[in-house]
Chains A and B, each alone.
Chain A
Amino acid sequence: MSACAAACMLRAPGMASVTIRQIRKTYPGTGLTILKGIDLEIPDGSLTVLVGPSGCGKSTLLRTLAGLERPDSGEIRIGDRDVTRLEPRDRDVAMVFQSYALYPHLTVRENLAFGLKLRGAPQSEIDARIAEVAPQLKLEAFLDRLPRALSGGQRQRVAMGRAIVRRPSLFLFDEPLSNLDAALRGEVRVEIRRLHDRLGATMVYVTHDQVEAMTLADQLVVLNGGVIEQAGPPLEVYARPKTRFVASFLGMPPMNFVDATLERVGSAVRARGKGLDVEVARARLPKADAPSEAGRAVVVGIRPQDVKTTDRAPAPVDLRFELVEGLGFESHVHGKLGEDGAPFVARLEGDEGRRIPKWGKLALEVAPADVHVFDRETGRALAE
């Protein structure tokens, strides 16, 4: 038993912040750089969700935290310990795998006890921990079954139990819900959040599902191409996306993007493009000398749910639609702006969506604060 192992056994859960400094990782042979200098602070007791499309590096970052991948350079600290070069077993982390990774030849009880036994915990301690965790995850009835005799949801709970029973400093979740059906996924998602609130432990959770990301996270980290695009509280990231990628990744249906030019009209700044003439709030523009932005070529982002119908003429958002998807509680109206402008989707609520015909014109408006403005070259939001 290593020195850490003995100390870690006695430690209360969730007593660790994580600091990641300039982590780089290139896979040998392929020359593919997966992580391109990641910097991240994970506060003690927080649930941080890493989200992004396939290949963005989120799982590699998680595996690097677990010690299953060695970074080429950079530093990882868990609490006050530099764990960058430590073996997985010396890091005091627990991981829930996408595949659950239950030991197939061991019963549920033995699976739960595995880590504690390896760390030399006395049998009475192991029994006590299992007796404490099993009811929390409703595992009592099948403690003596082998994993192959369990359903997907039960296996998932055993995988979580195996992590919890060890009381690690840091919990890592690698897309733990992706093998469950939709109904169960929602249920377990709530369970995980409750678990976090109860244990107060530091957790890092990887997913590509934006609903999981938004609902679970204290801190949301959006990754793309091996770099962090944005990190912050989920509602903050959603409301103030710093890049066009983040704006497009969060929200369903996704944000609409329209090429436009900024113009100054009196004291206001307006964005004008094909089928579009909307006012932009000062908050969406650079703080310093906003009027000088006039004439700048930009991309305007408008979320489908931020538009509403209007009687104003000419319409600030002139939607020519040819398809309406009715979902009952809301409708998605698909079309383009003006005669031959950008594709655009508007979300109308309840009755309003049900009343409109199958195709035609729709006059829409949007609040100036809901008009997001991105640089056309860099894709970065103009607001600082």
Chain B
Amino acid sequence: MAKASKNQTMDETGGRRSLLGEALVHLALVVATAAALYPVLWVMSLAFSSSQAPSARVLPWPEAPSLDQFRAVVGTHDAAGRWLFGRQLFNSLSVSIATAVVGVGIATPAAYALARFRFLGKERGVWLLMATQMFPGVATLVPLYLILQGLHLLDSRAGLVLVYATTSVPFCVMQLRSSFEAIPVDLEEAAMVDGASRFQAFRMVALPAARPAIAVTALFAFMGAWNEFILAATLMSRAESFTLPVALQRYVGEHGAAWGHFAAGALIVSIPVMAIFYLAQRHIVSGLTSGGVKG
């Protein structure tokens, strides 16, 4: 009896301890989340305020909530009366989508070849590809500028896509190579015995199996281009050629800072990335290949 009651006490103590531990963990998580969100909330409060300058308040809540900042940013027009914001949004979207398409389009067959075939110079080629990733983009800024100038592609979306592709293609190749390597070669061999050519086995079996990885890789390439600032700011000089990050930066200049516009613009720029993440999250979850082979 005594033994039983002792056990009970220990259980109760153990239960209290774990409850306390859990509460502490939750408290720590709440503090960490608040710390991470606080600057974002400040940006939101600024974007929804009617004033241009941040006020010295602890709570990130707009003083007089309004959509004026958004109206002003979205409604930007140039001297000729053309809708500048729309133009810049189109620049950002088209350049980012093209970068993702070019990156994945070139990288997918290259990555498949690296994953599946033996050929002369394969390992050295991979090493060179990785070496290109070791240099920061700024290091290549001057030669890229000169090349685009020579090609008459300065201030053009095609030029910017070309420049972004130089970094997105190697990145996509490395990402997709490991994805193709993870697909059992048995699947393609089964297809070839079933009547497929090498290319059909790639198109009908390997490609669908790699679809989640391709989607995620394209998403990363898209985001890389969408967020990029330095190259775009250097290679694009006219306001109608700007991408959104460059346009955004122009609100905070030497002679004045329109923080309200900047905050509203920053939120607008974040929306497509969040939307794409939300839509693509089911692809990000791995497991499409599970069940095809043992295990």
Interface residues of A (CB under 8 A from B): 5, 28-29, 66-68, 87-89, 91, 93-95, 97-105, 114-115, 118-119, 146-150, 152, 155, 162, 166, 172, 179
The answer to whether A89 and B193 touch (CB under 8 A), given A102-B293, A146-B291, A148-B290, is yes
Find out whether the CB atom of B195 lies under 8 angstroms from the CB atom of A5.
yes
| Cβ of B234 under 8 Å from chain A | no
Q: Which of A5, A89, A105 contacts B192 (CB 8 A)?
A: A89
Find out whether the CB atom of B196 lies under 8 angstroms from the CB atom of A101.
no
User: In the assembly, what is the distance between CA of A99 and CA of B185, in Å?
Assistant: 10
The answer to whether A105 and B288 touch (CB under 8 A), given A89-B194, A97-B189, is yes
Contacts of B21 in A (CB 8 A): none
Chain B 185-210 against A: per-residue CB contact (8 Å), 1 yes, 0 no?
01101111111110010001100110
Contacts of A87 in B (CB 8 A): 192, 197
Contacts of A149 in B (CB 8 A): 291
A-B contact pairs, 23 of them (CB 8 A): A66-B189, A67-B192, A68-B192, A68-B193, A89-B193, A89-B195, A95-B189, A95-B193, A98-B294, A99-B184, A99-B186, A99-B294, A100-B292, A103-B187, A104-B209, A105-B209, A118-B194, A118-B195, A119-B195, A148-B287, A148-B290, A166-B194, A172-B193
- Segment 106-132 of B: residues with Cβ below 8 Å from A: 118
User: In the assembly, what is the distance between CA of A162 and CA of B192, in Å?
Assistant: 13
Find out whether the CB atom of A94 lies under 8 angstroms from the CB atom of B193.
yes
| Cβ of B166 under 8 Å from chain A | no
Contacts of B293 in A (CB 8 A): 97, 99-102
CB distance from A178 to the nearest CB of B (A): 9
Contacts of A99 in B (CB 8 A): 184, 186, 293-294
Contacts of A152 in B (CB 8 A): 294
Find out whether the CB atom of A94 lies under 8 angstroms from the CB atom of B194.
yes
User: In the assembly, what is the distance between CA of A155 and CA of B289, in Å?
Assistant: 14
- Segment 15-63 of B: residues with Cβ below 8 Å from A: none
User: In the assembly, what is the distance between CA of A101 and CA of B287, in Å?
Assistant: 15
3 A-B pairs with least C-beta separation: A148-B291, A104-B292, A115-B194
Find out whether the CB atom of A88 lies under 8 angstroms from the CB atom of B187.
no
Contacts of A66 in B (CB 8 A): 189, 193
Known: A95-B190, A118-B195. 5 other contacts (CB 8 A): A68-B193, A101-B189, A103-B292, A148-B290, A149-B291
User: In the assembly, what is the distance between CA of A66 and CA of B192, in Å?
Assistant: 10
Find out whether the CB atom of A101 lies under 8 angstroms from the CB atom of B195.
no
User: In the assembly, what is the distance between CA of A104 and CA of B205, in Å?
Assistant: 9
Q: Which of A89, A95, A147 contacts B197 (CB 8 A)?
A: A89
Return the chain B residue nearest A29 by Cβ: B118
CB distance from B202 to the nearest CB of A (A): 13
Contacts of A147 in B (CB 8 A): 291-292
The answer to whether A118 and B294 touch (CB under 8 A), given A101-B187, A101-B189, is no
User: In the assembly, what is the distance between CA of A310 and CA of B134, in Å?
Assistant: 81
Find out whether the CB atom of A102 lies under 8 angstroms from the CB atom of B197.
no
Contacts of B288 in A (CB 8 A): 104-105
Q: Which of B191, B197, B200, B287 contacts A103 (CB 8 A)?
A: B191
Find out whether the CB atom of A68 lies under 8 angstroms from the CB atom of B189.
yes
Contacts of A103 in B (CB 8 A): 187, 190-191, 205, 208, 292
User: In the assembly, what is the distance between CA of A45 and CA of B194, in Å?
Assistant: 21
Contacts of B193 in A (CB 8 A): 66-68, 88-89, 91, 93-95, 172
Find out whether the CB atom of A150 lies under 8 angstroms from the CB atom of B291.
yes
CB distance from B190 to the nearest CB of A (A): 4
CB distance from B294 to the nearest CB of A (A): 4
The answer to whether A104 and B289 touch (CB under 8 A), given A115-B195, A118-B200, is yes
Contacts of B187 in A (CB 8 A): 101, 103-104
User: In the assembly, what is the distance between CA of A152 and CA of B290, in Å?
Assistant: 12
User: In the assembly, what is the distance between CA of A119 and CA of B293, in Å?
Assistant: 24
User: In the assembly, what is the distance between CA of A89 and CA of B191, in Å?
Assistant: 9
Return the chain A residue nearest B290 by Cβ: A148
User: In the assembly, what is the distance between CA of A149 and CA of B290, in Å?
Assistant: 9
- Segment 270-295 of B: residues with Cβ below 8 Å from A: 287-294
CB distance from A81 to the nearest CB of B (A): 16
CB distance from B292 to the nearest CB of A (A): 3
Find out whether the CB atom of A97 lies under 8 angstroms from the CB atom of B290.
no
Find out whether the CB atom of B294 lies under 8 angstroms from the CB atom of A100.
yes
Contacts of B211 in A (CB 8 A): 105
Contacts of A88 in B (CB 8 A): 189, 192-193
User: In the assembly, what is the distance between CA of A357 and CA of B188, in Å?
Assistant: 59
User: In the assembly, what is the distance between CA of A146 and CA of B291, in Å?
Assistant: 8
CB distance from B188 to the nearest CB of A (A): 9
Return the chain B residue nearest A104 by Cβ: B292
Chain B 209-223 against A: per-residue CB contact (8 Å), 1 yes, 0 no?
101000000000000
Contacts of B289 in A (CB 8 A): 104
CB distance from A269 to the nearest CB of B (A): 52
Contacts of B191 in A (CB 8 A): 103, 114
Find out whether the CB atom of A179 lies under 8 angstroms from the CB atom of B194.
no
Find out whether the CB atom of A104 lies under 8 angstroms from the CB atom of B190.
no
Contacts of A148 in B (CB 8 A): 287, 290-292
User: In the assembly, what is the distance between CA of A99 and CA of B291, in Å?
Assistant: 10
Return the chain B residue nearest A103 by Cβ: B205
Find out whether the CB atom of A101 lies under 8 angstroms from the CB atom of B197.
no
Contacts of B291 in A (CB 8 A): 102, 104, 146-150, 155
Contacts of B197 in A (CB 8 A): 87, 89
CB distance from B46 to the nearest CB of A (A): 47
User: In the assembly, what is the distance between CA of A147 and CA of B190, in Å?
Assistant: 15
User: In the assembly, what is the distance between CA of A94 and CA of B195, in Å?
Assistant: 9
Chain B 172-193 against A: per-residue CB contact (8 Å), 1 yes, 0 no?
0000000000001011011111
CB distance from B148 to the nearest CB of A (A): 41
Taking each of A87, A88, A94, A115, which has the highest tally of chain B beta carbons within 10 Å of its own beta carbon?
Answer: A88
User: In the assembly, what is the distance between CA of A378 and CA of B195, in Å?
Assistant: 45
User: In the assembly, what is the distance between CA of A88 and CA of B194, in Å?
Assistant: 8
CB distance from B121 to the nearest CB of A (A): 15
Return the chain B residue nearest A145 by Cβ: B291
User: In the assembly, what is the distance between CA of A301 and CA of B290, in Å?
Assistant: 48
CB distance from B204 to the nearest CB of A (A): 8
User: In the assembly, what is the distance between CA of A330 and CA of B289, in Å?
Assistant: 47
User: In the assembly, what is the distance between CA of A339 and CA of B147, in Å?
Assistant: 90
